[in-house]
Amino acid sequence: MTLQEQTTVTVRCQTTEGGAEVGAQVVLAMAARAGIPPLAADRLRGDVREALRAANAAVELRCSARDGGLEMAISPPGEALDAVKAALDGHGAEIDGDAVVIRVRRTPLQSV
Query: With bands split at pLDDT 50, 70 and 90, how would you rate the model's confidence at 4?
Result: low
Torsion of CA 15, 17, 21, 23, to 10 degrees: -10
Would you list the domain boundaries of the chain?
A: 7-105
Identify residue 5 by its one-letter amino acid code.
E
Q: What pLDDT digit, counting tens, does each position of 38-59 carry?
A: 999 999 999 999 999 999 889 9
Mind listing the pLDDT tens digit for each residue in 60-104?
Answer: 999 999 878 999 999 998 889 999 999 999 999 999 999 999 999
Residues in the chain: 112
Give the domain 7-105 fold. Heat Shock Protein 90 (3.30.565)
- Cα–Cα distance for residue pair 47/28, rounded to 1 Å: 11
